[in-house]
Homo-oligomer: A and B are copies of this chain.
Amino acid sequence: MIAEILSTGDEIRSGSLIDSNSAWLSRKLEERGITVSRHSCVGDDIPMLVSVLREIGTRCHIAMVTGGLGPTADDLSAEAAGKAAGLPLLLNETALCNVREYFSSRNREMPASNRKQAMLPRGADMLPNSAGTAPGFAMQIGKCRFFFMPGVPFEMRRMFREQVLPRLEEMQGNNREIHQIQTVSTFGMPESAVGELVKDLPDIFPHIRLGLRAKFPEIQIRLYGRHHSQVHLQKEMEAAQTWVREKMGTRVFSGRGESMEAVVGRLLREKNATLALAESCTGGLIASRITDVAGSSDYFLFSAVTYSNEAKMRVLGVKSETLEQYGAVSEETVKEMAGGAGKLADADYGIATSGIAGPDGGSEEKPVGTLCIGLAGPDGIKSFRFLMKFADRSMNKSMFAMKALDLLRRELMRG
């Protein structure tokens, strides 16, 4: 089956917004053995929408459309779909109920404008939205089955999984090959070097396609397996993952797509250990990542985001002589920070960061990108110093946080 993807909306057409939906949908379709032949994007404009819907209707079997389902005047997908198929819009009672329920479950009354969202082309198959107000719908235009979904990524993704995917599987019937995707997450080697290391994989494992994905600062190695036999595929995928782990060594931190903070959390939980942080250059980002994991309160006790030297001394007990002699960005200071945080919260492990995220604040001796990490654990306190500079402040912060989490992961795996 051949599919196309259409994203709609002036924000994307005019470049105010980068379209991430099309890439996500492409991956999901290709993973399931549906070839994506083309993406298109047009703005909120009825004649243009009608024309592109009709074109797509002559070219392929399946189309995913995102955007234009909201309650405002520039949300035109239902109207355009109706025009393209020559069908009137009718009030869909179930859709109206769903929109009303969304509001009433939040103790709010449905604004009149949201009634528009329940107007769908006659005969359309309504797709309930469990994450927002806009119902989606599926319908035929030309030879193609169209799936209209919201443009807000998390609403679209949920609707795709809950509503579109089961319908696609039904359309694919028994012609389906078994698909499997595994994500091996790595950290510590640039994408080009990873690519070079694993480039022979498709020759050795003929039913597995290789994909690299830079999800800064990690590099994910994706294995896309496709075969008629579940048993055969399972074996080949396992062998391929082992092969990748041998090539990449300890740079692999998860073989099932977990985040670094989830892996660290799992290791802490396994050891029944607790963690405290002292963050300067990462500014709370490590704590925020760690607390993104549900249940993190079981092992995460405390982070002191000590941006000022005063706070480093007063809260963490860093000595003023240390700050004077070595500076805030130094191995000596992060050692005292890590020790202080661990002690203050009575935690088993303490990590501290101090560095220069930029764009200003660098010097010849300590340029932008300098990062010092202190790591306190049952074996005492260690310190590290790195230099790693990326395009901007927020990328540097992100890399600094990842580096600290990775050091902790390695420490937890050793002990």
Interface residue ranges, A against B (CB under 8 Å)? 10-20, 22-28, 30, 36-43, 48, 52, 70-74, 106, 111, 113-114, 131, 133, 152, 154, 158, 181, 191-193, 195-196, 199, 209-214, 216, 222, 224, 276-277, 279, 282-288, 290-292, 294-297, 300-308, 310-311, 314-315, 344-346, 358-360, 389, 391-395, 397
Q: Look across to chain B and name the residue whose beta carbon is closest to the beta carbon of A305.
A: B303
Could you say which of B11, B17, B41, B286 contacts A38, with CB atoms under 8 Å apart?
Answer: B41
Contact status A131-B191, CB under 8 Å: no
> Are B302's CB and A308's CB within 8 A?
yes
Given A36-B13, A133-B192, A310-B346, CB of A291 within 8 Å of CB of B284:
yes
Task: Report which of B19, B305, B311 forms a contact with A22, defined as CB distance below 8 A.
Answer: B19
CA distance A14 to B32 in the complex (A): 12
Give the CA-CA distance A310 to B214 in the complex, in Å.
39
**Contact at A15–B19, with CB atoms within 8 Å?**
no
Give the residues in chain B near A213, CB-CB below 8 Å: 11, 16-17
Chain B, Cβ-Cβ closest to A17: B213
Are B10 and A15 within 8 A (Cβ)? no
Pull 16 A–B residue pairs with CB atoms less than 8 Å apart, ordered by A: A10-B211, A13-B26, A13-B37, A14-B27, A16-B23, A40-B40, A72-B195, A74-B212, A113-B192, A276-B311, A283-B288, A284-B288, A285-B288, A302-B304, A311-B345, A315-B315
Closest B residue to A393 by CB, please name it. Answer: B294
Contact of A291 among B209, B283, B301 (CB under 8 A): B283
Q: Which residues of B contact A16 (CB under 8 A)?
A: 23, 27, 181, 211-213, 222
Residues of B contacting A277 in the complex (Cβ-Cβ under 8 angstroms):
305
Residues of B within 8 A of A303 (CB): 284, 303-305
Contact B48 A27 (CB under 8 A): no
A26-B15 contact, Cβ under 8 Å, with A38-B40, A345-B314, A359-B294: yes
> With A212-B16, A294-B360 in contact, do A70 and B27 touch (Cβ < 8 Å)?
no
CB pair B307–A311 under 8 Å, yes or no, is: no
Closest chain-B Cβ to A202's Cβ sits at a distance in Å of 9
Q: Tell me which residues across on chain B come within 8 A of A304, comparing CB atoms.
A: 302-305, 315
Whether A14 contacts B284 by the Cβ 8 Å rule is no
CB distance from A323 to the nearest CB of B (A): 14
Q: How far is the CA of A296 from the CA of B283 in the complex (A)?
A: 10
Q: How far is the CB of A269 from chain B (nearest CB, A)?
A: 15
Q: Is A14 touching B38 in the complex (CB atoms < 8 A)?
A: no
Q: Kindly report which residue of chain B lies nearest to residue A346, judged by CB atoms.
A: B310
Q: Which among A133, A210, A292 has the highest number of chain B CB atoms within 10 Å?
A: A292
Chain B residues whose CB sits within 8 angstroms of the CB of A24 once the complex forms:
15
Give the residue name and chain of the B residue nearest to A73 (CB): B199
Compute how far the CA of A283 lies from the CA of B289 in the bound complex, rounded to whole angstroms.
Answer: 8
Q: Which of B12, B22, B28, B283 contacts A287 (CB 8 A)?
A: B283
From A11, A158, A277, A305, name the one whose CB has the most chain B CB atoms within 10 angstroms.
A305
Q: Are the CB atoms of A41 and B39 closer together than 8 Å?
A: yes
> Which chain B residue lies CB-closest to A114?
B192
> What's the least CB distance linking A11 to chain B, in Å?
5
| Bound: A284/B13 CA distance, A | 36
Contacts of A286 on B, CB cut-off 8 Å?
Answer: 284
- Contact residue among B40, B195, B292 (Cβ-Cβ distance under 8 Å from A70): B195
A13 touches B38 (CB 8 A): yes
